Amino acid sequence: MTDSTTPRVLVLSGEPPPGLEPLDGRAELRLVTEDRLAAELPAADALLVWEFATDALPAAWPRAGGPRWVHTASAGVDRLMFRALVDSDTVLTNARGVFEQPIAEYVAGQILALAKDFAGTYARQRDHVWQHRVTERVGGTRAVVVGGGPIGRATARTLGALGLRVALVGRTARADDPEVGRVHAFAELDALLPEADWVVSAAPLTEQTRDMFDARAFGLMKRGARFLNVGRGPLVVEEDLLEALRAGRLGGAALDVFREEPLPADSPLWEAPGLLVSPHMSADTTTWLDDLAAVFVDNFGRWRAGCPLRNVVDKKLGYVPYAAPADGVLR
């Protein structure tokens, strides 16, 4: 966008997001809630989906007009993959760059928590019980990280720094990847699962990945392996995971995302043996809101100048495709 008019930018949020002050005077920012979205969208030039857990956009999307650019303050874009937006000329971008390292640190922390039995230590401290135990080493164990995007890559690098032997699985195999050496194709996953001590789900949600971790996948894993999901809830058939934990086939699990959120109080997952539950917080740090705003502000400047945008989603694939750095410098 390079014209001289002040663009009208809708911000889907109940309260003004922090960090958008640099746009004062550069854009007409209009805060909008879900009930006003349908009325405001036709005249909007751009839309910032700050409340990214919304399901209101498909019904509110205009038949004519509407934003030329939609940005979501999230990594996942599956809620925005409705037909009218996918088929439109509207450019969709996401918040890639904000969540990768925090999620990688969460995965590393949960692996250490499971291996070192921190839950058992905390329980014994609560009960004033002194009981010496031995725990596991993570160095030298094998991890399979499913998802070849930035989150999976950051996770693979972080686990590698802890001494784990990591296989990264993505949509496309790469024999000489500049970041991780080798990327395995999804078709190789079945052969990798039986050797894994840790399986990390970090894939985007698409029609190809939905329900990919089911009874069959858990059955391929070695007895005692642990499973972690930081991708999207519907990647996992939760009933099958629950059965694998109850049967002792899996040695434990950690879930940060669920098919239904918030997780209902009566969900059997709360009581599943060896399962660590966290409320979709693996990416959320003390600076995350400012970081999310900074990505949008930077992209707004690019959009106004007619420059290529960061994090453009391939709407046919349902995510931002990975591209190796053109200069060969990894950041």
Q: What residues are labeled active site?
A: 232, 261, 280
Within 8 A by CB and 6+ apart from 127, the residues are: none
| H/E stretch holding 226 | strand 226-229
Question: Does an H or E element contain 191, and which?
Answer: helix 189-192
What DSSP designation does 60 have? H
First-residue to last-residue Cα distance in the chain: 28
Could you tell me which of 31, 35, 30 has the C-alpha nearest to residue 57? 35
Give the CA distances from residue 178 to residues 181, 182, 183, 327, in Å, rounded to whole numbers and listed in that order.
6, 9, 10, 11
Is the distance from CB of 266 to CB of 291 less than 8 angstroms?
Answer: no
Give the type of residue at 31.
L
In angstroms, rounded to a whole number, what is the distance separating the alpha carbons of residues 102 and 201? 15
| Distance, CA of 231 to CA of 272 (rounded, Å) | 20
The count of other CB atoms within 10 Å of the CB of residue 67 is 26
The amino acid occupying position 141 is T
For 157, residues 6+ apart whose C-beta sits below 8 A from its C-beta are 104, 179, 180
| Residue appearing with tokens 């043996």 | 273
Burial 128-158 (b: 16+ CB within 10 A, else e): eeeeeeeeeebeebbbbbbbbbbbbbbbbbb
Give yes or no for a contact between 98 and 292, defined as CB atoms under 8 angstroms apart.
Answer: yes
DSSP 8-state assignment for residue 75: S
